[in-house]
Structure 1
Amino acid sequence: MTSPDPRTRARRDVPFRVPSWDDPVVARATGLIGGPTGRYAVIGARGLVASALTLVLLGAAVMALAVWQKGHCLMKGWATPDQFWRACYSDLPVVHVSSPLAQGSLPWTGDAPSTQPPLPGVVMWLIAQVSPQTGQGIAAQQWVFGLWALAAVLLLAAAVVATVALQPGRPWQAAHLAVSPVLVTLALVSVDLLGVALTMLGLWSWRRGRPWSAGLLLGLAVLVRPFPLIFLAAVVLVAWRRRDLLRIGQLLVGVVLGALLVLVPLIAVEPQSLFAARQWLGQSTGYGALQMIPQLLGGGIPAPLPTWIALAGWLLALVLGVVVARRWHQAGVVQVAAVMMGVVALTAASLSVQSGLWLLPLLALSTRPWWEHLVWAFGETLHFVMTWLHIAFASDPGRGLPPETYALVVVLRMALWSWLLWRIANSTEDARPSAPVVDQPVGADEPQLDATDEVLAGGER
């Protein structure tokens, strides 16, 4: 008797989804490692640990490519404008040599304090303390960059493992985070990967029914970038729909405690550490944002209007998040967060190149196919290269990218962001929760999900 095609099997016949059976891009890509999973393969025989370990190793390989992409600057130093022509800019070595970090001090000291947010500044200071090289030479830059690259590998591994644990019914979806092409260009530009890892660990803690630790982790993540507030708001809104008020309160208290855990001692030691927040209130438009287009075309939006537009965008995002969470009962954290992320991005005063890292958690927690990921990643990589060419335009207009052309690139980037986030927000299949981690034989019935699983994945019991 002929064995049935594995792609026609019912979902209960396998413990988790196999992407090489129904995603043509994955099926072709697996040719490098032996081809798609065969019809006689025993899915899940080695458990989720094998999947997580494989993804962690693949992620480490991608991070090695990220170091290679910054290779010119790593060998020659991060000098202007060469670092822009070579597209190998990184905050870590540049801020190190242009701030008191080179002398082992916090980056906000002195007459020209750094504009780094609190937690990234602390991380950079810790790296400077560990580095055997001090000062502003190339050796110091190399050590700082190398130490952060090692830390980034560990952070990516933690984020990947948390993602696998969040959706054990779709562990290989975490590949959208582990092996995304945008990691090669964006992962080592800044310390945003720290915020992504803290956010994923926070969501995992929430799924495990630990709102206190989830709040602590998300509170720390907020000190890296504001984007974790979107995930926090989405969790609260979906939990509010279930009237889970006690855990919401515990989560929010945990967020405050997590932020204060860093801010209180930091402000006590160096009050200038809040300089970045004061700068943000009066900032002008920055790279990557639609608000910058009038400036690129010869006009401009006077400060502090960009900040007010951005704040209005956050408020509108929250309102839309409330509407989506209340009106669409199948919407989970992923759907609500995607809607809010789109509004915040479209109204942002600045949307730096590394902001693309914050879409990876949404891709990894959804079930979007890889062709959509790759289309978006192409636009993100194009914007990455064009941003540095536009910055270098001031030093050599004959080689650099003129502002009018860069404006078109920004529009294209935001169009791709909007398209991808809309696809995530409107994916009905994403709202179906995946099975929790259980030791069960292939073909066993899936157990009921608890309330925490449904809050993350969406859907009502």
Structure 2
Amino acid sequence: MTGVPSRERRRRDVPWRVPSWRDPLVARATGVVGGPLGRHAVVGRHGLAGVAAALVLLGSGMLSLGVWQKGHCLMKGWSTPDQFWRACYSDVPVVHVSSPLADRLLPWSGDIPSSQPPLPGLVMWLLAQVSPQAGTGLGAQQGVFVGWILLALVLLGAGVVAAVALRPRDPWRAAHLALSPVLVPLALVSTDLLGVVLTLLALWAWQRGRPWLAGALLGWALLVRPFPLLVLLALVLVAVRDGRPLRAAQAVVGAALAALVLLVPLVAVQPRALTAAEQWWSQGAGYGALQMLPRLVGFPLLTTASTWVAVGGWVAAVALAVLLSRRTRLGAVQLAAASTAVVALTAPSLSVQSGMWLLPLLVLSVRPWWEHLVWAAAETLHFVATWLHIAFDSDPGRGLPPLAYAVVVLLRALAWAWLLWRIADERAPFRTPPPGGSPPAARSAPVPAAGRPRPAA
């Protein structure tokens, strides 16, 4: 027997990984709360519930900063171009006052239907029902926006708890959701946080051996954005590769059934609820996408060409995921990251809030915080640049000209490609349940008393 140094022994005995011992950036950042965890600290005394509670509280603080960032519009209203100069735009109040939601009707009613996807449209309709005021005034805008803030707090809490449960041996990885800087500018711009949380809950259900539930949750997330389809594809490919085709089929059928359960009655009541899907085929290059670069330099793509580039991107993404699943042992997160990169770089539009969809991949990866912060800086720069470019038509002297915005879009695309490549290149696959059923519940290892010797073999 040989002795083990105290610090190394304590690191081996803790029930989960301690970020301030492994990530230099985290160790420096902990200075505001007293510094890195000491060698004699008792890790895991309050269990995973303590980690989740701390991160939910910290995440609430990040959302509070997001409310502060949108404060000017919250107090003065969302008016053009003021909401662009102040970078406080949000779909929730703007769509409310510019659609039948102001009369507490479904957003796809009236002569000009809204282009909101089905699930976000329903959420905005529910917010309109509980808002103290109807109409298009400041009170109505504030009512629906405050309603979304409260709902976002609940959703973020659920997402953090799911992220902690997904990584019981490394629960502080959930901080990549709760403390992500992109929450401040992006979380309240739209209802995409709903889809992000549904995706995390789906991954938790999959890890627990519940493919029907995982598929259903991903089916609902698909009604927010198409990105969850890539996650579903990755899970299916890994299951088939591991000899579990029934589990893959259950997830696919569950997703289809869940989507239909919501869509069929909605379309029966309002047939134009699928307007967003119809417009996808006819929209030209939009903000944030590489496809917009030709337009910014004076040579816009034809709408037909833009659509076919996007379709080709999806075909290439599926083909890449299939190829990687057959020739490598990459996990579902890595496959999803690789295919997401292809779709994002060929998309006809990559709006500011699209960055929210990278957070589940970051939570389940092993990327260090400095990479997260580099990507978040690019996202924040693009967030501000987009509003300044939109406002350029109102005041060219203050707004961001097309060529400058083109540089920002290119930098953001490079940041996406770099981060997703780093995630896809990992060799730490997302754990899936064994063929016999769901895995046993994660249990924290006992923590020995400080200073108690424990020999090593």
Matched, 1:301 2:301: yes
Shift, 1:436, TM fit: 5.9
Query: Hey, what does 1:24 align to over in structure 2?
Result: 24
Once the two structures are superposed, what CA deviation does each residue of 1:303-327 show, in whole Å capped at 9, x if it has no partner? Answer: 1221211111111111111121121
The residue that corresponds to 2:343 in the other structure is: 344
1:288-346 CA distances to partner (integer Å, 9 max, x unpaired)? 000000001001111122121111111111111112112111x1111111101110111
Aligned to 1:455: none
- Alignment-derived partner of residue 387 in structure 1: 386
Moved more, 423-432 or 154-163: 423-432
What is the match of residue 334 of structure 1?
Answer: 333
SS of residue paired to 2:75: helix
Letter in 2 for 1:177: L
Match in the other structure for 1:457: none
Identity of matched residues, %? 64
Instruction: Tell me the residue number matched to 2:452.
Output: none
Provide Cα deviations, 1:34-80, integer angstroms capped at 9, x if missing partner.
22111001221211110011101100010000000000000000000
Aligned to 1:4: 5
Decide whether the 8 Å contact of 2:207 with 2:431 is kept in 1: no
Shift of 1:30: 1.4
Secondary structure of residue in 2 paired with 1:385 = helix
Asked if structure 2 preserves the Cα contact closer than 8 Å seen for 1:167 and 1:436, the reply is no
Once the two structures are superposed, what CA deviation does each residue of 1:228-264 show, in whole Å capped at 9, x if it has no partner?
1111111111111111111111111110111011101
Alignment-derived partner of residue 360 in structure 2 = 361
1:122 paired residue number: 122
- Larger mean Cα displacement after TM superposition, 189-198 or 12-21: 12-21
Indicate if the aligned counterparts of 2:52 and 2:164 stay in contact, CA closer than 8 A: yes
- 1:32 offset after TM fit, Å? 1.6
Secondary structure of 1:416 counterpart: helix
State the SS of the aligned residue for 1:255: helix
Q: What is the aligned partner in structure 2 of residue 244 from structure 1?
A: 244
Alignment of 1:146-165 (within 5 A): 146-165=146-165
Contact residue 182 and residue 381 of structure 1 kept, 8 A: yes
**Aligned alpha-carbon RMSD (Å):** 1.8
Which amino acid counterpart does residue 133 of structure 2 have in structure 1?
Answer: Q
Residue 403 of structure 1 aligns with which residue? Answer: 402
Which residue of structure 2 lines up, in the alignment, with residue 261 of structure 1? 261
Contact 1:167 1:435 in 2 (8 A): no
SS in 2 for 1:392: helix
Residue 172 of structure 2 corresponds to 172
Aligned partners of 2:65, 2:143: CA distance in 1, in Å? 18
Residue type of the partner of 1:364?
Answer: V
Q: Which has the higher contact order (CA 8 A, sep 6+)?
A: 2
Residues 89-100 of structure 1: matches in 2 within 5 Å? 89-100=89-100
Provide Cα deviations, 1:144-200, integer angstroms capped at 9, x if missing partner. Answer: 101001100111111111111011011001100111000000000000000000000
Partners of 1:154 and 1:179 in 2: CA distance: 16
2:199 is paired with a residue whose SS is helix
Q: CA deviation at 1:431?
A: 6.2
Structure-to-structure mapping, 1:77-116, within 5 angstroms = 77-116=77-116
Letter in 2 for 1:56: V
Asked if the contact 1:12/1:442 (under 8 Å) is kept, the reply is: no
3-state DSSP class of the match of 2:303? coil
* Distance (whole Å) between structure 1 residues aligned to residue 443 and residue 216 of structure 2: 27
Larger deviation: 374-383 or 32-41? 32-41
In structure 1, the residue matched to 2:71 is: 71
Q: Is the 8 A contact 2:331 2:428 kept in 1?
A: no
1:239–1:248: 8 Å Cα contact kept in structure 2?
yes
What are the residue-to-residue correspondences of 1:254-293 with 2, within 5 Å? 254-293=254-293
Aligned AA (2:401): P
Q: Does 1:441 align with 2:457?
A: no
Matched to 2:149, the amino acid is A
Q: Give the whole-Å Cα distance in 2 for the aligned partners of 1:273 and 1:117.
A: 7
Q: Do the aligned partners of residues 226 and 91 (structure 1) sit closer, same or farther apart at CA in structure 2, a change above 3 Å counting?
A: same
Displacement of 1:12 after TM fit?
4.5
3-state SS, counterpart of residue 51 of structure 1: helix
| Distance in 1 (alpha carbons) for counterparts of 2:308 and 2:441 | 43
CA 1:100/1:290 → structure 2, altered by over 3 Å: closer, same or farther?
same
CA contact (8 A) 2:198 2:220 kept: yes
Q: Say whether the 8 Å CA contact 1:169–1:435 is kept in structure 2.
A: no
Aligned to 2:231: 231
Measure, in 1, the Cα distance between the counterparts of 2:382 and 2:440.
Answer: 38
Q: Helix, strand or coil: the match of 2:325?
A: helix
User: Residues 271 and 228 of structure 1: is their aligned pair in 2 closer, same or farther, counting only changes over 3 Å?
Assistant: same
Q: CA deviation at 1:429?
A: 4.4
Residue aligned with 1:413, SS = helix
The residue type paired with residue 410 of structure 1 is: V
Contact 1:13 1:442 in 2 (8 A): yes
Give deviations 1:388-418, integer Å, cap 9, x for gaps. 0000000000000000110010000000111
Farther off after superposition, 227-236 or 303-312: 303-312
Partner of 1:418: 417
Which structure 2 residue ranges, 5 or more long, are not aligned?
A: 433-438, 449-457
